[in-house]
Amino acid sequence: MTGKRHSTTTAVALVCACAAAVLAAPGTAFASPAEPTPPSNGSLEKVRKEIERLYREAGTATDAYNAAEEKAEKQSQEIVRLARSIDKGQTKLDRLKARAGAAARAQYRGGGVPDEARLLLSDNPSRFLDGAGRLRQGQHATKAMLTEMSRTQADLKTYAKDASAQWRKLESNRKAKAEAKKKVKKKIAAAEKLESRLEKKERERLRKLEEEAALRQQSAWVDTGILKDAKGEATSPGKKAIAFATAQIGKPYVWGAEGPKSYDCSGLTSQAWAAAGKGIPRTSQEQWKRLPRVDVTNMRPGDLIIYHKDASHVGLYVGDGAIVHAPRPGRSVTLAGAGSMEILGVVRPDK
């Protein structure tokens, strides 16, 4: 156990050490490119922003796809549950009907004379009193059986109605999922097409522009002094989530993926916390809506940082101003500056 704790602590320490390499310290200056800036640099920056926009929109569509998939899965499970309830209810109703039929046949064999009439014709007071008690019991049992039959029939109608409603919702979410999938593919294809038109050197410069833009934003964020107050320590589950997430570094981003070979942004964070023994919502938008929020200045390793106004991206905070995240198509799970994107807020899975 001690060895396990030691390895986890070491892993976190290594992450923080690696994180320092990707962060810009306050006041970081950016050197000019070694080669003269080509005339197309301005247009290349426009390309970079357009590609970023397309991947952002693909991220939003991916969240919609994941949400529809999660709902469809829950609805499918509910339909299965209702089908089992209907089957069980029908079996019960058939059994009650069989009992009612047996009672009717017994009365027919008795000459069709109701038990009440046979009781009144009895000339033995003792047998009369005994029969009266049995009659009352029989009447109560018959009444209870008829009530149970009526309730079972009502339950069956409710189950059938609920199952129909769930089918309609399932179909609606299947359509939403298909539409979101189409949108994701369209946005990714547009971004890839835009990038494919560039020459190899231009693609290299584009990658460098992306890195410099992220570093500038991270540096500006660190310069605010925000990390001075963020000194919280990871909880035991938080350390487990960090250890899981950092072990995925280098695996490719694939939209809709939850591992183990590839991840999208919320697939990574949800699986990291599942590995820590805590189930959290699947999508970044639901993580933002449903998990407890904390101020950025109070964040601690293990917290989730939600990005962009529409909460379409998420990363796991590992400490020292860094996150581990699955960035976008064409990239792999990596460490990045926590302030290198527009922060919407911070949520805490284990609050």
Length of the chain: 351
Helix (H, G, I), strand (E, B) or coil at 263: strand
Three-state SS sequence of 42-102: HHHHHHHHHHHHHHHHHHHHHHHHHHHHHHHHHHHHHHHHHHHHHHHHHHHHHHHHHHHHH
**What does the alpha-carbon distance between residue 84 and residue 94 come to, in Å, rounded to a whole number?**
15
- Candidate list 6, 18, 140, 265, residue with the active-site label: 265
Q: Which residues contact 119 (CB under 8 A, 6 or more apart)?
A: 128, 131, 132, 135
325 is catalytic: yes
Q: Do residues 286 and 67 make contact, with C-beta atoms less than 8 angstroms apart?
A: yes
**What does the alpha-carbon distance between residue 207 and residue 213 come to, in Å, rounded to a whole number?**
10
CA-based nearest residue to 64, from 177, 194, 142: 177
**How many CB atoms within 10 Å of residue 9?**
13
Rounded to a whole number of angstroms, the CA Rg of the chain reads 33
Structure tokens belonging to residue 128: 């009369």
The phi and psi torsions of 8 (rounded to 5 degrees) equal: -65, -45
In order of 1, 179, 236, the CA distances from 5 in angstroms are 6, 46, 9
114 upstream amide cis, omega within 30 of 0: no
265 is catalytic: yes
313 is catalytic: yes
As annotated, the active-site residues are: 265, 313, 325
